[in-house]
Amino acid sequence: MSQQFFWGVSTSAYQIEGGHCIDGKGPSIWDEFCAKKSWRIKGRATGNESCDHYHRYREDVDIMASLNINAYRFSISWPRVLPEGKGRINEKGLDFYDRLVDALLEKNIEPIATLYHFDLPLELEKLGGWYNRDVAMWFSEYADILLARLSDRIKYWITVNEPMTILGLGYYVGTHAPGHINFIKGRDAVHHVMLAHGLAMQAIKSYSGLNGGISNILYPAYPHTPEDIEAVEAANRINALFIDPIMKGQYPDVWEIFIPSQKAVKTGDMSIISTPVDFLGLNIYTRAVVKKSLIPLGFLPVKPNYEGVKFTSMGWEIYPKSMYDALKWIADNYGNPEVLVTENGAAFEDKIIGERIVDKDRINYLKKYIQYMDKAIQEGINVKGYFVWSLLDNFEWGYGYTKKYGLVHVDMKTKKRTLKDSAIWYASFCRQRCLSHSLLNETDSEYAAAHSLKPGEVAVAVTGK
């Protein structure tokens, strides 16, 4: 990979693009989930319009340039490119990503593309979705199409985002699309997602000069009491479920319900899945505090309850050291591979004061997590990039539009973008591109005075409002 350190932001197609049924795009499982199981989503929201990034991408790229970032991680909508998931190519869909990538490069922003971020084409779900082994093969064909079109400009590719979330929420508890609850069939879906990753990695490796990897969400485990060490080991085996097959060529020893059946794993599959990656992407938000349990899983999560504990509006504990511990766990267990922190951020209740969006909690969160990433880097852990989740307030899956992760506020009625204070802070930090920059140590009272661009001025300059 490049020796340049990436400072960037992340998004995903379904969460920001809108344009759900125009210019030839086919439906995804999330279109269907929102339409048929709307009761599972706060406010019965949909991603039909969301931030309208499909039409406003140039404005969003201008905003990114104003943040002084040098990389943007986004996902490509599989059904926008292949409306039925296979076969017929939608040229208008490919044209959109052509335009987006060119706009990014014009601003000297490195495009980093994720092939799959939860939005399986609905037509493939009708054929069994991730229960069907053939979907992995069709995913490889989809990857081939995108590589043939975009590999001259996109040098960094992520195969799959968060297999743990895809399977856990989509196939085990049913709160994400496609909404299945099937513990027996779900374990084979685990394998098919991993096989899809491996086949896509082989496609990436067939091109010279490309870098490929996967993004996994990671919850470093901590014991609730000193007697809960075995529970930590059990929880970490779940963390390893989607990393061991790639880095070690085998599934970890976890509860049988998570391990693919012998029928699902064909000769040669593990060799495909363990195709060498150039980096591991890690999505790091919080930790898991666990206690031992007699249930086969071996652990149960415990909500932290101690003096001074703080949570995001998602109810996730703010624990900055989880960044360091997650990175160290990867380095210690997998030979210190190159890592991109592909997501880190927090949802908070932002305050709107005139034209200003005040979110000092987010600024403090980002500072502290970056400081612990810096500690890891200083100790030799091989981190090559950091991406804030997310650029824009967007459709947050089952939470609809009730949870705000963005550096940029989006009025979902008018689609007006307004930079939050956190965006101004991040722009100043990225302008320096230095982990030891004093902005990491600023007090809140020093924040406004430290910036040459004031919040109101930046919002006007970027949005044109």
Active site residues: 162, 343
* CA 151 – CA 112 distance, rounded (Å): 11
* Maximum distance among all Cα pairs of the chain, rounded to whole angstroms: 63
Where would I find the H helices in 241-339? 244-247, 269-273, 321-334
Q: How many residues does the chain have?
A: 465
243 closest CA partner among 337, 112, 374: 337
Q: Is 239 helix (H, G, I), strand (E, B) or coil?
A: helix
How many other C-beta atoms lie within 10 A of the C-beta of residue 102? 12
Cβ neighbors of 451 (< 8 A, separation 6 or more) are: 424, 425, 428
The contacts of residue 140 (CB under 8 Å, 6+ apart) are 196, 199, 200, 202, 203
Ramachandran bin of 124, using left for φ above 0, alpha for ψ from -120 to 50, beta for the remaining angles: alpha
Q: List the Cα angle 247/252/257 in 5-degree steps.
A: 135
d(CA 13, CA 52) in angstroms, rounded, equals 10
Angle, helix 53-66 to helix 91-106, in steps of 10 degrees: 10
Task: Select from 75, 72, 77 the least CA-distant residue to 60.
Answer: 72
Alpha-carbon 162 to chain mean position: 7
What is the C-alpha separation between 200 and 197, in angstroms, rounded? 5
How far apart (Å, rounded) are the C-alpha atoms in residues 311 and 313?
A: 7
CB 325 within 8 A of CB 220: yes
